[in-house]
A and B are shown apart, each in its own frame.
Chain A
Amino acid sequence: MKNSKKYKTGSSVIIMIIFLMLSFSSYVYAHRVYLFAWEDGGTIYTESYFSGNKKVQDGIIRVFNMEGKELLSGKTNDAGEFSFRIPEITDLKIVLESSMGHGAEYILKGSEISEGEKIETNNASEIVESIDTEALPDTDQLKRVIDAALDERLKPVIRELAMLREDKGQGVTEIIGGIGYIFGIMGVIAYMQSRHRLKGAGRKA
């Protein structure tokens, strides 16, 4: 996904041949093509589609920064999707090239990307709220986000435990409190997973 250097002369020739082949195929869709992109949990997702809900398959996606430097490129799958890890926290110009010269572009603002990064360092209750109002992320992202929250919250507990080893007798109530907090977070995970299961497969239509 990330290594655009691999897309050099050999790949360019193949792409050219595919392009020429496709341009001789029957002109089925006179529809407009659309590209939509969004950030979630450190990954940028893109969807490419024609009006009439046909997905763009094997569409080439190129990602540029606003200075015009190509950061990465890739191809859409059968569902018109292509995703990649955030290359830079900056305004990104995502361009779709499809067969028969259809094209679309999407400007993803740096502010939209950096918001996503912030979520991972907020506390658990804030994460639950923001997930509730957005489309539900899949299990991997859920785990990543909750891992980050757990790390944040366990740090002081671990520190306390270390201190306790040297300072016996004190901080027992804090330890019990910390353990109680862990139970609370496990409850949140169980709740999110059960909600995710109830909602069924897939977060988008």
Chain B
Amino acid sequence: MKKKIGFILFILMVAFNCNAFAHFGMAIPSTSMVMQGDARDVIFEISFSHPFEMVGMDMERPVKFELIMNNEKTDLLPSLKETSIMGKKGWHMSRKINRPGVYWLHVEPTPYWESAEDCYIIHYTKTVVAAFGDDEGWDRPIGVKTEIVPLTRPFGLYAGNLFQGVVLVDGKPAPGTEVEIEYYNRDKKSSAPNDYFITQVVKTDSSGVFSYAVPKAGWWGFAGLNTSDKKIKHDGEEKDVEIGAVLWIEFKEMK
């Protein structure tokens, strides 16, 4: 009898884990646009968390942390410092933006072992800062394992705008990809009527394109999820790797 109860509880626990929380690789700059007269220091906060429920998770030091501007990559990993984000281990650094341009930030984390799903998770996370009116390079892929390439310019956006992007895997559009979408509930003021609302889901079409009309101002994360062709060993066994193409962009309230 005890074994049966234990088994049922275990199943419930696993089921609950799989459904409830959507963890996102997060890369949030203090501002998405730097204009003449603005402060030029931009602080980047990196974490692996649940953005709507504001539940943090410990994130190990990323494998890659780079700034890409017009095909020039700058390795910023040495400048990354440990910090606390949502009460758990996260990372941050400050960077001065002094020249016009579109600055892409890319984070590749260490593979995260998700026992509940019996797989590793790697969220290749991007965000973008546009400076001084320049917008060249907003629609250019940066050439990582998987990424979302915007079809809507990813800054200067209003809440209510339709955002479109292509999910690429190994540089090729990935049709039929599930894209999870979640709002960064930073001030915890937003509440969902039920669990379905916390992480919304859209799918990419036959061209690998997805669309989403953003209902509220703030930072929104889009995560196009696929399974990698490569596996990683866990305790001697080959395990699947979920690769996420994650993009964080900001939408402002229109006045």
Q: Chain A residues in contact with chain B, CB under 8 A?
A: 32, 34, 36, 38, 47, 49, 51-53, 106-107, 133-135, 204-205
Given A36-B100, A38-B98, A106-B36: A51 touches B69 (CB 8 Å cut-off): no
Cβ–Cβ < 8 Å partners of A53 in chain B = 134-136
Closest chain B residue, CB of each to CB of A32: B133
Give the distance in Å from the alpha carbon of A32 to the alpha carbon of B72 in the complex: 26
Given contact pairs A205-B70, A205-B72, A49 touches B134 in the complex (Cβ within 8 A): yes
Question: Complex: how many Å from CA A60 to CA B37?
Answer: 23
B96 close to chain A: CB less than 8 A? yes
24 A-B pairs within 8 Å (CB atoms) are namely A32-B133, A34-B132, A34-B133, A36-B100, A36-B132, A36-B133, A38-B98, A47-B100, A49-B133, A49-B134, A51-B133, A52-B136, A53-B134, A53-B135, A53-B136, A107-B36, A107-B37, A133-B96, A134-B98, A135-B98, A135-B99, A204-B99, A205-B70, A205-B71
Contact: B99 with A52, CB < 8 Å? no
Nearest-neighbor residue (CB-CB) of A106 within chain B:
B36
Chain B residues near A36 (CB-CB < 8 A):
36, 99-100, 132-133
| B residues apposed to A, CB below 8 Å | 36-37, 69-72, 96, 98-101, 132-136
Q: Which of A38, A51, A106 contacts B99 (CB 8 A)?
A: A38
List, in ascending order, chain A residues with CB within 8 A of B133's CB. 32, 34, 36, 49, 51
Q: How far is the CA of A51 from the CA of B99 in the complex (A)?
A: 15
> What is the bound-complex CA distance between A106 and B134, given in angstroms?
14
CB B136 to nearest CB in A, in angstroms, measures 3
Distance A205 CA – B99 CA, assembled complex (angstroms):
10
Residue numbers in B under 8 Å from A51 (CB-CB):
133-135
Q: CA A43 – CA B97 in complex, angstroms?
A: 20
Chain A residue nearest to B71 (CB atoms) is: A205
Closest beta carbon of chain B to A13's beta carbon, Å: 33
A34 touches B134 (CB 8 A): yes
Using Cβ atoms and an 8 Å threshold, which residues of chain B touch A106? 36
Which residues of chain A come closer than 8 Å to B37, judged between CB atoms? 107
A32-B133 Cα distance, complex, nearest whole Å: 9
Q: Which residues of B contact A204 (CB under 8 A)?
A: 99
Question: What separation, in Å, do the CA atoms of A134 and B36 have in the docked complex?
Answer: 18
In the complex the two chains form, is B98's CB within 8 Å of A34's CB?
no
* Residues of chain A with a CB closer than 8 A to B134's CB: 34, 49, 51, 53
